[in-house]
Structure 1
Amino acid sequence: MLFHNTIYMFKNFLVCLAFISVVACGSKPRVAIEEGGLSLKPSLQHEIIAKEVVGILENYSYKKVAASDSISNIVYDNLIKSLDEGKNYFLQSEIDEFGQYRNTISQDFRNGDLSSAFHIFNTYNKRALEVLQYALTQVDASHDFNKEETYINYRDKQNWFTSDAELKEQWRKRVKFDLLNLKLTTAEGKDEMAKHKETLKKRYNNLISQAKQTNSNDAFQLIMSAYTNAIDPHTTYYNPSFAQRFNEDMSNTLEGIGARLQMENEMVTIKEIIAGGPAFKDKTLKMDDRIIGVAQGNGEFEDIIGWRLDAAVAKIKGPKGTVVRLKILPAGAELSAQPTIVKLTREKIVIEEESAKRSIKTVKGDDGKNYRVGVITLPKFYIDFEAYRKRDPNYKSTTRDVRLLLDSLNKENVDAVVLDLRNNGGGSLQEAIELTGLFIEKGPVVQVKDTRNQIEVHQDEDSSVSWKGPFGVIINRYSASASEIFAGAIQDYGRGIILGSTSYGKGTVQSAVDMSRFISSVNKLKLKAAGEKDADTPNGAPEFGQINVTIAKFYRINGSSTQHKGVDPDITFPTQFTAEKYGESSEPAALPWDQIRSTNYNKVSDLSSIKSQLAAKHENRMKNSAEYKFLLEDIEEFTKAMNTTSTINLNEGKLKKEREDNKTKNRTRLNKLLELHNMPLWKEGQPQPKVEFDFILDESLNVMKDFIKLKNS
């Protein structure tokens, strides 16, 4: 089985979205143009695939969920949310009419009936075209920017519109805000309203063009995602083109900025920074930042709000060595906030070369003694499978690289080692097991339970140990899968101290299955007779697409699942990424946590007493730490912004003042941090300095200093 070699990273669905175009689904789409919008129809192949996907998830997946009223409710909600999460298109009357499908849509899929889902999609598409056409008429309308008026962009907590008049009023305000937003980005004293109107017309016409180009394959991909996400957040059907690019991206190179992207509320949102890429090196972009504009080199910015993700990605990606500028709304910032500009030079990012790296940090103890700590940063658990299969003695892998780094740290006589797994989304299961073996003697590392409830214990068979001294592991909310297996094993063995925040909680295993295995010869003949078998799919792509289905679950050697709960650190640091909004526990369809019998293993040591002492010393330091207080303030501001309905002022004077106040506030905050580090302050008119302070790492090193002293006492 595939899971013996690799753990698909928890962000695989984002990989698919961020780097591929939504094109042919393996059969000729049935598309008709009607007045007011498209009338898309499912193909026979769509109907056959839908039926088989339901059958796979009912009979072969780990969860084995039957199509039922309760699942239909979730599928229905997923579909509505994926189409109009911000409630900017549908009317209440349309939602009421769709209600007839709420309890039956999954059972319809089981029978190959996609008519209800396509009806919902067509209604959305028609409504989107109507409101965008209306928005175009409002660009040249008269707008009073001195009027006291507000606008809510993201309406997920609001009621659906009850009339066309309400819908049009919302879009009138949106056009007014878009114009005002563009106006406020113009240099003081310059009147470029005519230019702003042309920019906005181009934006809306682009959106209209994209909506008209939508085909039945696009609809089918979205509909099937609504179904699979109702079963399990890591089970996904990919149409042939998606499947082809998904598989290529798991092993090949990418050219671009080095970020995985997802569409949220009509904005391209950064969901992962790829180690080694331009965004990673620049250190300006962060998780959940939103890209609202793209410029090639020193050219003019092109607005990408509302674009299809594949179209936006095509603008962001590009050949190695070329420059792209991004207009960014930082995570947590309101839509009305002043965007920042980030300039990046595109590079070729070789996924397999996200290698482990080391450094040595010096920490001064209370006794005046300097302690040297080796820090190994590991962005993923990688292995060159091709070279490994060919028995190449020099194949590249995580364990081999880290072993060499540990050898060098041993020669330099460091006092402790820290492995930084923050933002490490997983990778090879084999490497997670073998890497654990560098720090323990022989023994079990992880348990895997399959769909038949059979449990297999994966062991480290190598008795050699590469590092025997004090050891720490740093994790955060985006440490997932293989990272959690490793951290959990180190914790269970008492081999080291786990620091940071609770990990993601991705404790499931997926296998990629070619859908052609499930399409009967009878159905293949039907498709051939219908003229759909020889569809124009990419060369090498699976003809009927691919399903990545959950087939097993991970358990720690103490019997606790890593699923849902993740790994809790021994020394906890605060984080803005809460369990309610981020990680496996935020996914409604995620498999639950459970426990099985513990394996037989011998602890390296009992660190319970040392852990309590380390926690006490850490808490005492935090009481007097200005940086810690700064971190708490930042988290509080971020949480407040994320939980507040974004009501935007459409009065030019007031909105301008809000922006200036926010700009001053941000400069004051940054200067406070710079002052803490005795750095030159950021003055008005100067470019914003890049801040690379890492409080979590710095305090982790302090904890390790205490650990060294306690171990030696």
Structure 2
Amino acid sequence: MMKKLCLPLCSVLLLAVMLFSSGTGAHALVTRSAASALKPTTSEEEASRYIAQYLLQNHYRKVPANDSLSQQVFDRFLENLDNNKTYFMAPEVEQLRREVGNRIDDEFVAGNPSAGFRIYNLFLQRAREKMNFMISSLQTTKFNLGTPETLDLERKDKPWAADRTQLYDLWRKELKYQYLNMKYAGESNKNIVSALTKSYTNRLKLLDRQKPEDAFLAYMYALTTSFDPHTSYFSPDEFENFQIDMSRSLEGIGAKLQMENEYTVVNEIIPGGPAFKSNLLKKGDKIVGVGQGGAGEMVDVIGWRINDVVKLIRGHKGTVVRLKILPASQAGKGPARIIRLVRDKVDLQEQAAQKKVIIQGGHKIGVIVIPSFYLDFEGEKQHQKNYASTSRDVSRILGELKRENVEGIIIDLRENGGGSLEEAVNVTGLFIHDGPVVQVSNSIGGKSVLRDEDSREQYDGPLAVLVNRYSASASEIFAAAIQDYGRGLIIGERTFGKGTVQTIVKLQRPFSMFVKQPDLGQLKLTIAKFYRISGGSTQHIGVIPDIVLPSMIDSDVVGEDTYSSSLPWTTISKAYYTPENDISKDDIMVLRAKFQERTSRDQAYQSYLKDLATLN
């Protein structure tokens, strides 16, 4: 019988959407013998058991652990691994379905993710086979460029290859397509073969660094997103990155890195960080070794995955890290140089709220760009003096703009995927007198109303909010509240349509907080839905702007309603609130008419509309 876990009371309520690109198998993966196949660690098995219990007991959607769930996870996992159907063959897919398709739920509840590892290991085998096929074909195949052939680049809705003959023919056509692209770009045959061989060889080298964690994360992603799109598992390393995003700070050297072939290359130096202050590390430098402290072993990181290199470079404030670099000033060819940096706290200022002032037509307008509703949860908990907070930063910026005598303010929430529920409420409170901001309802019908209790309205002047299809969750709470109160004008596109609330649950054994345990990671769990104070939901529908601007973003591809596992749209009773009506319905009608009149005479705008029509 499954033991029950109580969901910890947690003040970390999240409202954010994370957009994932398709193609989990972007890099080729290593073939392994039965003896060396990836296997789940003890910690991963334990984490799997707790994830299952929290999902089945505490998720908003009560999904039974049965064969239907198993098949859904199975299909989702295969789709994530091989979305374009270029690795698996139909017979092995059906064999896997028969052998593990209905066992996933039973094994998962028991803390046994072996079904996922079996599928993942087969994927690794096929991916390695494909890389070797491509490399071998480049050396032996003479492409008949005069023979026309057809290749389906989008194979999501196509059947799996029936056998190896079909699979190899698909790979051959894919290689020919890549060859032709480079040929038409003017490359010689020698250069084409060399470049493509190097590309596939580099992928093979990355395969050797596949770890059990990679299989476990991919499998857990398929399983958690079968409950809803925003429930997900964070490994310890991923949770560290999540905390960095929310707190806008990290402890390290202050450099952004990227992979170029086998090398870790400096892509950007963050102003104010140790690397910036030292002037020893430059954009374009290649990092080939990392050493800890003044005399620790210099570890060769050529061919390492970027996440593993970052893990070595990050560390606690005040500690020393040594980097062996190939300077960009020497075209990255050496001789190598060793530099010494002292790690420090690095503030990611580009992720904080920013202001700018626009002067047009004799009018002075302030713009506040809010990239996310960030909050340093630990800093707030520890009562730190200057912890990162969206509402604090926006409040400060409002004061600055008022002193600059702006005539109106625009809040730019475009691309803002959400963040802290608390911050969404607090930022809204800066623009209204007081009253409800959002309603939250759990799976058993319990309802709470989150309010702005402060009667002070920091800014009561003309207000507009810019949104687009990527404005989600906490952004939608703010925009919806401003719209429901009639406090300002909403301009842009229909928003993303996420209306669910998540909490972060630390995976650990119950009642053992005083005993040292392995770090099993964290679970971001959907526990509630939020509603506008008018009673409507943003789920699927989003926030409809008062003034709609055309966009290049395809709403059929981006949005909550594009997810197969998203929760349904529902409504509840409205909250009691008093509209401020700074913008009335009549005002909006007048503004729409003026907007249509002005843009009909704007040649640049009309050309933009024609370009959009061509794209569609």
Q: TM-score range by the shorter chain?
A: 0.7 to 0.9
Asked whether 1:311 is paired with 2:305, we answer: yes
Secondary structure of 1:564's aligned partner: coil
Single out whichever of 481-490 and 560-569 deviates more from structure 2. 560-569
Output the amino acid matched with 1:171.
Answer: W
1:121-520 alignment, distance < 5 Å: 121-141=120-140, 142-185=142-185, 191=188, 193-251=189-247, 252-253=249-250, 255-256=254-255, 297=284, 311=305, 350-351=347-348, 354-364=351-361, 370-391=362-383, 397-517=389-509
Q: Cα–Cα, structure 1 residues 246 and 120, in superposed 2: closer, same or farther, change >3 Å?
A: same
How does 1:28-47 map onto structure 2 within 5 Å? 33-34=32-33, 39-43=37-41, 45-47=43-45
Which residue of 95, 98, 116 maps to 1:97?
A: 95
Supply the AA of the counterpart residue of 2:156: D
Alignment CA distance shift 1:145-1:547 (3 Å) = same
Q: Deviations over 1:323-375 (max 9, x none)?
A: 99xxxxxxxxxxxxxxxxxxxxxxx97346633333332343xxxxx333222
Tell me the CA shift for residue 5 of structure 1: 4.8
Question: What is the one-letter code of the residue matched to 2:135?
Answer: L
CA separation in 1, counterparts of 2:31 and 2:9? 41
Q: Secondary structure at the match of 1:483?
A: helix
Q: Distance in 2 between matches of 1:552 and 1:322?
A: 51
Q: Counterpart of 2:162 in structure 1: which amino acid?
A: T
Shift of 1:460: 1.0
Q: Provide the C-alpha distance between the structure 1 equivalents of 2:561 and 2:110, rounded to a whole number of angstroms.
A: 32
Tell me, in whole angstroms, the C-alpha distance in 1 between the residues paired with 2:92 and 2:234: 29
The whole-number CA distance in structure 2 between the counterparts of 1:310 and 1:8 is 34
Q: In structure 2, how many angstroms separate the alpha carbons of the residues matched to 1:505 and 1:519?
A: 38
User: In the alignment, is the contact (CA less than 8 A) between 1:10 and 1:481 conserved in 2?
Assistant: yes
| Deviation (angstroms), 1:229 | 0.8
Structure showing greater relative contact order (alpha-carbon pairs closer than 8 Å, 6 or more residues apart): 1
Q: How many residues align?
A: 539
Report SS of the residue matched to 1:557.
coil
Stretch of structure 1 that moved more, 58-67 or 243-252: 243-252
Q: Which moved further from structure 2: 620-629 or 129-138?
A: 620-629
Cα separation, partners in 2 of 1:165 and 1:518, compared to 1, 3 Å: farther
Q: Equivalent of 2:56, from 49, 55, 58?
A: 58
Distance 1:426 1:476 in 2: 13
Closer/same/farther in 2, CA of residues 384 and 546 from structure 1, 3 Å limit: closer
Give, in angstroms, the shift of residue 65 of structure 1.
1.6
Which amino acid letter does the alignment assign opposite residue 138 of structure 1? Answer: S
Q: Distance in 1 between matches of 2:537 and 2:326?
A: 45
CA shift for structure 1 position 467: 2.2
Instruction: Determine what percentage of the aligned residue pairs are the same residue.
Output: 35
Separation in 2 of the partners of 1:591 and 1:352? 35
Secondary structure, counterpart of 1:630 in structure 2: helix
Secondary structure of the residue aligned to 1:151 is coil
Name 1:117's counterpart in structure 2.
116
**How far apart, in 1, do the equivalents of 2:446 and 2:422 lie?**
19
1: CA distance, partners of 2:531 / 2:386:
32
Match of residue 342 from structure 2: none
Q: Which moved more, 1:483-492 or 1:90-99?
A: 90-99
User: Offset at 1:257?
Assistant: 5.2
Structure 1 contact 442–462 (Cα < 8 Å) conserved:
yes
Contact 1:437/1:462 (<8 A) preserved: yes
Separation (CA, whole Å) in 2 of partners of 1:613 and 1:619: 10
Work out whether residues 377 and 421 of structure 1, in 8 Å CA contact, stay in contact via their aligned partners in 2.
yes
Distance 1:113 1:484, change over 3 A: same
Matches within 5 A, 1:588-603: 588-603=564-579
Deviations 1:178-206 (A, max 9, x none): 33334445xx5x74x33432332222223
- 1:492 and 1:240 map into 2 onto residues whose CA distance is 40
Equivalent position amino acid for 1:124 in 2: F
Deviation at 1:566, TM superposition (A): 1.8
Q: CA deviation at 1:175?
A: 2.3
For 2:476, the aligned partner's letter is: E
Aligned to 1:80: 78
Q: Displacement, 1:167?
A: 1.2
Counterpart AA for 1:550: T
- Cα distance in 1 for residues equivalent to 2:283 and 2:387: 38
In the alignment, the residues of structure 1 paired with residue 609 and residue 352 of structure 2 have an alpha-carbon distance, to the nearest angstrom, of 32
Distance 1:135 1:296, change over 3 A: farther
Q: When the two structures are superposed, what TM-score results if normalisation uses the length of structure 2?
A: 0.77
Structure 1 counterpart of 2:134, one-letter code: A
Change (3 A) 1:310 1:177: farther
1:543-562 matches, within 5 Å, as 543-562=519-538
Shift in Å at residue 544 of structure 1? 2.3
Out of 537, 555, 560, which is 1:579 matched to?
A: 555
Query: How far apart in 2 are the matches of 1:548 and 1:373?
Result: 39
State whether residues 501 and 574 of structure 1, in contact with CA within 8 Å, keep that contact through their aligned partners in structure 2. Answer: yes
2:549 and 2:585 map into 1 onto residues whose CA distance is 18
CA deviation profile, 1:81-108 (whole Å, cap 9, x unmatched): 1111011111121222233244453344
**Amino acid in the other structure paired with 1:39:** A
| TM-aligned CA deviation for residue 564 of structure 1 | 2.7
| Counterparts of residues 19-34 of structure 1 (less than 5 Å) | 33-34=32-33
Letter in 1 for 2:412: D
Is the CA contact (8 Å cut-off) linking 1:417 and 1:472 kept in structure 2?
yes
Separation (CA, whole Å) in 1 of partners of 2:379 and 2:53 = 37
1-structure distance, mates of 2:608, 2:106: 49
Q: Are the structure 2 counterparts of residues 391 and 51 from structure 1 closer, same or farther at C-alpha, using a change threshold of 3 Å?
A: closer
Instruction: Name the counterpart of 2:17.
Output: 10
Report the alpha carbon displacement of residue 436 of structure 1 after superposing the two structures with TM.
Answer: 1.6
Q: Given residue 576 of structure 2, which amino acid in structure 1 is its aligned partner? A: N
Q: In 2, distance between residues paired with 1:626 and 1:148?
A: 44
Distance 1:117 1:385, change over 3 A: closer
CA contact (8 A) 1:571 1:615 kept: yes
Question: C-alpha offsets along residues 563-622 of structure 1, whole Å, 9 cap, x if unaligned?
Answer: 332211111112233333112221111122211121111000161111112122222333
Deviation at 1:388? 4.0
Which runs of structure 2 are paired with 1:665-680 in the superposition (5 Å)?
Answer: none
CA distance in 2 between counterparts of 1:516 and 1:501 reads: 42
Tell me the distance in 1 between the aligned counterparts of 2:310 and 2:520: 30
**1:510-544 Cα deviation digits (max 9, x unpaired):** 222222235999xxxxxxxxxxx9xxxxxx99522
- Give SS of 1:75's match: helix
Is 1:565 equivalent to 2:541 in the alignment?
Answer: yes
Q: What's 1:657 paired with?
A: none
Equivalents in 1 of 2:496, 2:151: separation in Å? 35
8 Å Cα contact 1:2/1:512 also seen in 2: no
What CA distance in whole angstroms lies between the structure 1 residues aligned with 2:542 and 2:499?
8
One-letter code aligned to 1:237: Y
Work out whether residues 54 and 67 of structure 1, in 8 Å CA contact, stay in contact via their aligned partners in 2. Answer: no
- How far apart are the structure 1 equivalents of 2:191 and 2:353? 49
How many angstroms apart in 2 are the aligned matches of 1:374 and 1:499? 16
